[in-house]
Amino acid sequence: MNVSWFDGSAMYQIFPLGLCDAPHENSWDWSNTWNAATRPVRRVDRILNWIDHLKKLGINSIFFNPVLQSDTHGYNTRDFYTLDSRLGSNEDFAEVCQALHDNGFRLIFDALFNHVGRGFWAFRDVRNNMQNSRFIDWFRGIDFKRNTPCNDGFYYKAWKDNWDFPELNLDNEEVIEHIFGAIRKWEDLYRFDGLHLCLSEYLPKRFIKRIRKYCSEMGAGLGGSIAFVAEVFDSIDCSPYLSRSLAQSSVNQELRNSFCDSFNKNNVFELSYTLNRQFGPDGIYKNVPMMNFLDNHNYPRFETAMERKELVPLGWSLLPALPGFPCIYYGSEWGVEGYSTEDHWAMRPAFEKPEWNQLTSCIQKAFEARKNSPALRYGTYKQIFQAKEQLVFERESCGEKIVVALNISEYDYKVPIKQGKGFGAFEGISGDFDELLSGGECHYDGDFYLPPLSVMFLRKK
C-alpha cells in the first residue's frame, strides 16, 4: 500500500491563486472558446522565488491547491484542461513544474472531480440550450420541471446545496473519459507525481479505483507511479478510503485538531490518544503514510490558533517526529497569522517572496533530523509515558531507536520511574544520547528530566 517516496516526504502546500496575488474573480472573456481564456496573465512564475527557500528548509515535495480554470477560488472549476488564466497559460505552468522537478521536488496536484463551477463549459451549455443540450447527463439530478435559487429554469444536484457547485455524474462514461483525458494532459504537460482527491468520501469508490488503475497503467512522475492522497472532509476515520486500489495516504485532520485542543487546554491527553489510535500497535493508520499538518487553506493558521504562542515552535518541532509525513502551509514556517473568513481568502495570502526567522530555523532543524533518521521517517510508534503536559514516545526502524519527548509546561519535569508492564510503566532511560535538535549530548542513569517548553529527539549512541 505504501508509496516509498511518501514516507520520506517533507511537503509544502501552496495555494497558487493566493500566493501569486491573482484577482479573486475570473473575469476573462469566454465568448469565443470553451477551453482557453483570451488573455492569460503570467503570475505563476512567482512560485520560482520559493525554490531556494524550500531547499534550505528541507522540503522535497510540493502540494498545489487548484490551478485549473475556475470562477473564483479554484474549487468551482470551469475547465479541466487549462490553467487558470489569472496564473498564466498551460505552457507557463509547465515551465514552472519543469524547474521544480529539476530541483528535485515532487509535485502533487489538487484534483476535484465531485463537482465543478457554474462557469464549467458543459454546464454553460445546459444553461444556454436547456433540453437541447447534449450535456444534460453530465450532471446529477437535472430536472426541467423544477428550479433553483439561481433561477436557471431547471434543478440540479449541488454539493451541500451550494448552487455554485453542480455535481458531476461520475456514472457517465463520457464524463469519466473527459476526466481521464485531463489527467493525461496534466501528465504530458506537468509530469505530476501525485493527486490529492478532494472530497474523497463523496466520490464513488468504483470511480476512485478506475482513476487509480488508469494512472497506474499510464505511469508517471519521478518514481514511475502516481501517488494518491485522500481528503476525507466530514469524518475523522479515513481508513475506508485507504487501500491498494484506493488512496495510499490521507490528509490527517483529526491529528491537527488534537494538536490544537491539547495545546490550548494544556493537556496532551487528546494528542496522546489520537497518536495511539492512529499509529500505535493496533493503530488504524499503522504503516500508512498520513499527511500530517497543523494548518492549511481551510483552518486558522497555527500561530493564530495557539493561545500560548510559546507552544508554536513545539508543535512544528514535534510534527516531523510523527509517523506519516509533515506538510507545511506556505507562510506558516515564519509564523504568518490568519483565520477563516466566509470566502477564505484571508487564508490564502499573497507574498512576493518567502521570509526566514527563528521559527523557520527551528522547523529546519526538525526536518533535518527527520531526514537523517530512518526511525523518524519509517519507524514504529510506541508511547512510553504520558502526563498532563508531557508526552514521551519511541520510534524504531533499521536498528535505530529515537526517544521523542514533549513538555508543554513552563517548568522542568522529572519523568517518574514506574516498574512493571502496561500503561504508565516506565523504567527510565540510561546511557549516552545525541539530542538531534540541539546537536548536544545527554547522559541519563534512569532518571529522565524534560526541560520546560521543549521537544527532544534522543538517539542512543
Report which of residues 219 and 88 the model is more confident about: 88
Considering the domain architecture, whether residues 348 and 285 belong to the same structural domain is answered as yes
Distance CA 71, CA 424 (A): 55
Question: Which residues lie closer than 8 Å to 192 by C-beta, 6 or more apart?
Answer: 97, 107, 108, 109, 186, 220, 221, 226
Whole-angstrom distance, CA of residue 390 vs CA of residue 251: 26
Question: For the residues of 163-205, what is the DSSP string, one character each?
Answer: TT-BBB-TT-HHHHHHHHHHHHHHHHHH---EEEETTGGGS-H
Do 31 and 151 lie in a common domain?
Answer: yes
Averaged pLDDT, 287-315 = 97
- Whether the predicted pLDDT of 206 surpasses 60: yes
Contacts of 35 (CB under 8 A, 6+ apart): 79, 81, 82, 121
Domain boundary among 377, 401, 432: 377
Same domain, 269 and 404: no
Q: Are residues 224 and 139 in the same domain?
A: yes
Judge if 17 and 78 occupy the same domain: yes
Cβ neighbors of 22 (< 8 A, separation 6 or more) are 16, 43, 84, 86, 87
Q: Report the percent of the chain where pLDDT is more than 90.
A: 83
96, with CB counted inside 10 A (0-12, 13-18, 19+), is buried
All three cell numbers of 156: 440540479
User: Are 372 and 403 within one domain?
Assistant: no
For residues 202-215, average pLDDT: 95
At 148, list the grid cell.
433553483
Q: Which of 353, 377, 401 is the last residue of a domain?
A: 377
**Are 350 and 234 within one domain?**
yes
pLDDT at 428: 75
User: Over the stretch 258-268, which tens digit does the pLDDT of each residue have?
Assistant: 999 999 999 99
Are 94 and 194 in the same domain? yes
In CATH, what number is assigned to the domain containing residue 198?
A: 3.20.20.80
Domain boundary residue among 335, 362, 377? 377
In order of 13, 230, 256, 260, 384, the CA distances from 315 in angstroms are 17, 24, 10, 9, 19
Q: Output the pLDDT for position 31.
A: 57
Number of domains forming the structure of the chain: 2
What domain range is 429 assigned to? 378-460
Residues 291 and 388 in one domain: no
Q: Is the pLDDT of residue 269 over 90?
A: yes
pLDDT digits (tens, 9 = 90+) for 120-164: 999 999 999 999 999 999 999 999 999 999 999 999 999 999 999
What's the one-letter identity of residue 377? R
Q: What does the pLDDT average to over 192-212?
A: 96
d(C-alpha 167, C-alpha 313), whole Å: 41
Q: Please indicate, yes or no, whether residues 351 and 325 belong to a single structural domain of this protein.
A: yes
Residue 300 sits in the same domain as residue 159: yes
What is the rounded (10 degree) CA torsion for 207, 213, 219, 225? 90
Range 245-259 burial, b when 16+ CB lie within 10 A, else e? ebbbbbbbbbbbebb
Residue 444: give its domain's CATH number. Answer: 2.60.40.1180
267: its cell numbers: 493537556
Whether 267 and 354 share a structural domain: yes
| Model-wide pTM > 0.75 | yes
| β-bridge pairing 448-450 and 413-415 | antiparallel
Position with higher pLDDT, 461 vs 320: 320
